[in-house]
Structure 1
């Protein structure tokens, strides 16, 4: 991927177009006089956008299917009430977020919850743990698609996910079709997980039709 995106950035610098990478190069050229540094920044941005979009969306889709199949009564309830699919997706995003850890670097010395954080030190925000905080959620270990609670899966502020609307649309389309076309779908084995911390990833999700 490094080889591919490095070549792509170089190609867009030589022949800019109307695509996002060409736009990012123009923006970074205004911010960074060193063209090599600007190209490196655009490379990392392009790589991040691909990884973030594919990794997170695929987990939301697979995670939604897994959780509904593990909770057949809620799945059947949702099948007859498809208008509640958006709310069910929010519970999926809370219960098993696609990203369980977010890294941030402190721009200056600060104190957070009584802990001193020095400038340029990295802080790990444990989103997965926050979503199961009993001080914020009643029965946090209970998966309940009728729950109406906020979550941090799309980030917030200037870091709010640009692809949140697309991810929601994809997931709603998937669940709507799945519930209508495959009413007898069920788990056929235990899910397999990648050995990771930040990005959640299902390696296998065996399913079968009843």
Structure 2
């Protein structure tokens, strides 16, 4: 249908790899921030509590505020940080796979998605932010419910669920930031508070920014990585011989991860708006036009990845799953590390692992989520 397809609700779907890449990297394409929302005539969606709250987070900010906040974080997951996190992630994987093994032995099968895939990211991020482990289930529930507001066309009932989850997230992380300020320790959140105290003269402004950063970094790290982990395992188990081949060729674990990212991206759609009159894929688009970058379609553009519907671990192809430009995913390196740790141990400990049924998914368009993946060994 072309690189640019009119959407039934207005705006355009961007499907071609090069056109999507141009939007993600182009300085004349912005995220739909508060200023853009204020210029819209149909405002019900943008006035929703959950939408308003997320619009203050890093993913919905444009320069110069986006630049300012991102610089304050530094390189969150540089090589040294990942190296330090690596042993604990490996230990977490071992513990989670022990649980998986116990469930399989007791019941004949177990749900990889809930026992392992959802737990590894919250363990990793929770420890990094020094969050109490007993709070992890509550954070996961709030995150699952909040993302409804980030769908393309959320229903009123979905927005209501998301609104309650957003209020719960605000209460939780506002309290967390207040506690860290009072303790004045050496944890990551306390260091962010001190960084922003040096940038802001208003303590309330500091606490608001740190709350938004902490909440966003937490929830952005959970569902996406969990889905990558489950999808990766499913793609390897879903066709005869793949699991066995990768066990015999573990040097291609990273290749398998990149192909899974290309083939089945955890986020399917991301929206941008034109900051000025522009031309995209040969089509004139006036200022403020919204376009939806279709990651899955871009990753399967045959002009970029020949035979795109085939899962090929030796492809060494290209994908846009982590985005591009100023909003490139902060946690890309961490997600890859978690996937590498899990897959490496799974291949070694479960040589005869097999799927015990088809994966189950949440009914969404934007945030792809595997809710269940039963496996046996």
Higher relative contact order (CA 8 A, sep 6+): 2
1:147-185 per-position Cα deviation (integer Å, ceiling 9, x unaligned): 111211222233232322222222112112111221211
Alignment pair present for 1:77 and 2:221: no
Give the 3 Å change call, closer, same or farther, for CA 27–197 of structure 1 in structure 2: farther
- Identify the range of structure 1 (22-31 vs 161-170) with the bigger mean alpha-carbon deviation: 22-31
Query: What is the aligned partner in structure 2 of residue 22 from structure 1?
Result: 190
1:32-51 pair list within 5 angstroms: 35-51=203-219
Alignment pair present for 1:141 and 2:318: no
Shift of the alpha carbon at 1:132?
1.5
Alignment pair present for 1:193 and 2:358: no
Give the 3 Å change call, closer, same or farther, for CA 11–204 of structure 1 in structure 2: same
Shift of the alpha carbon at 1:90?
0.3
* Paired positions, count: 207
1:65-86 per-position Cα deviation (integer Å, ceiling 9, x unaligned): 0100002322221110000110
- Identify the range of structure 1 (193-202 vs 21-30) with the bigger mean alpha-carbon deviation: 21-30
Alignment pair present for 1:118 and 2:290: no
1:51-200 pair list within 5 angstroms: 51-106=219-274, 108-113=275-280, 114-119=283-288, 122-200=290-368
Maintained 8 Å contact 1:74/1:145: no
Aligned mates of 1:25, 1:112 — CA distance in 2: 42
Aligned mates of 1:82, 1:133 — CA distance in 2: 28
Structure with the bigger percentage of helix: 2
Query: What is the aligned partner in structure 1 of residue 170 from structure 2?
Result: 2
Maintained 8 Å contact 2:305/2:318: no
SS in 2 for 1:72: coil
Aligned mates of 1:23, 1:123 — CA distance in 2: 37
Aligned mates of 2:231, 2:173 — CA distance in 1: 29
SS in 1 for 2:376: strand
Give the 3 Å change call, closer, same or farther, for CA 125–208 of structure 1 in structure 2: same
SS in 1 for 2:241: helix
- What is the alpha-carbon root mean square deviation over aligned residues? 2.3
Maintained 8 Å contact 1:25/1:39: yes
Shift of the alpha carbon at 1:126?
1.6
Maintained 8 Å contact 2:228/2:265: yes
Which runs of 5 or more residues in structure 1 are unaligned? none
Aligned mates of 1:115, 1:72 — CA distance in 2: 47
Which runs of 5 or more residues in structure 2 are unaligned? 1-168
Give the 3 Å change call, closer, same or farther, for CA 62–81 of structure 1 in structure 2: same
Aligned mates of 1:115, 1:6 — CA distance in 2: 44
TM-score between the two structures when normalised by the length of structure 2 = 0.50
Aligned mates of 2:211, 2:198 — CA distance in 1: 16
